[in-house]
Chain A
Amino acid sequence: AQSVTQLDSQVPVFEEAPVELRCNYSSSVSVYLFWYVQYPNQGLQLLLKYLSGSTLVESINGFEAEFNKSQTSFHLRKPSVHISDTAEYFCAVSYTGGGNKLTFGTGTQLKVEL
């Protein structure tokens, strides 16, 4: 069975500092990987995804994530965060053999401070 581990439940960081949110998954088959962001009292928005091809994927607002098959990781990074990046970030994984079920990690609360 597939599972997703987000090791950090909370990550405080100062504005303009770099940040990395960690995500590891376990699966015996090929997977698709996703990062979603949830702002307070809002729904889930897709930040970026890895389906195939280049292992480095980027979002339009400066986030990037790298698929590392050997380490079964998909860490999210941003070189310089902004106050508006404060939100809950969820890593998720799916594989076609599982009825296209999307399995989420427990989330990481990113809190950007001045």
Chain B
Amino acid sequence: DTAVSQTPKYLVTQMGNDKSIKCEQNLGHDTMYWYKQDSKKFLKIMFSYNNKELIINETVPNRFSPKSPDKAHLNLHINSLELGDSAVYFCASSLQGRGYTFGSGTRLTVV
């Protein structure tokens, strides 16, 4: 029954590693997003996909690469992880911007 599910919930990894976070929504929404919440709880959009097409790509290092195999999935791959990448990453989906549903978040800790 989970509307937006993302995995894993926690991710602890060493600097320099490559990791992926997966997201799936079963709401039939047309747009999916990745948001980053930093240590001060500020939420900032990273990427947005509408029907598998990238429509928003904020100023994010090239080490971050989103992939949307279909409308219901949006994954985030991060190369060469750095200490500053430590944050909580939220996946979200919406239908024409009229309502947004968020996943429970992935807490990434880079050591």
A interface list, Cβ under 8 A from B: 32, 34, 36, 38, 42-46, 49, 51, 88, 90, 92, 94-96, 99-104, 106-107
B interface list, Cβ under 8 A from A: 31, 33, 40-45, 48, 50, 55-56, 90, 92, 94, 96-105
- Which one of A44, A45, A46, A49 has the highest number of Cβ atoms from chain B below 10 Å of its Cβ? A44
Q: Provide the residues of chain A in CB contact with B101, threshold 8 Å.
A: 46
A90 to B101, CA, bound (A): 14
Could you tell me if B41 and A107 are in contact, using CB atoms closer than 8 angstroms? yes
Sampled A-B contacts (17; CB under 8 Å): A32-B97, A43-B90, A43-B103, A43-B105, A46-B99, A46-B101, A90-B43, A92-B100, A96-B96, A99-B48, A99-B55, A100-B48, A100-B94, A100-B97, A102-B97, A103-B45, A107-B42
* Extra 7 A-B pairs, beta carbons < 8 Å, given A46-B101, A102-B97: A32-B98, A46-B99, A99-B56, A100-B97, A102-B92, A102-B94, A107-B42
Q: Provide the residues of chain A in CB contact with B42, threshold 8 Å.
A: 104, 106-107
Could you tell me if A99 and B50 are in contact, using CB atoms closer than 8 angstroms? yes
Could you tell me if B43 and A95 are in contact, using CB atoms closer than 8 angstroms? no
Could you tell me if B98 and A44 are in contact, using CB atoms closer than 8 angstroms? no
A102-B90 contact given A43-B104, A49-B99, A94-B97, CB 8 Å threshold: no
* B33 CB, min distance to chain A CBs, angstroms: 7
Could you tell me if B45 and A95 are in contact, using CB atoms closer than 8 angstroms? no
A42 to B104, CA, bound (A): 6
Find the A residue at minimum CB distance from B105: A43
Could you tell me if B96 and A100 are in contact, using CB atoms closer than 8 angstroms? yes
Q: Provide the residues of chain B in CB contact with A36, threshold 8 Å.
A: 102
Rank and list the top 8 A-B pairs by shortest CB-CB distance, nearest first. Answer: A100-B97, A43-B104, A104-B43, A44-B102, A99-B55, A99-B56, A94-B97, A43-B105
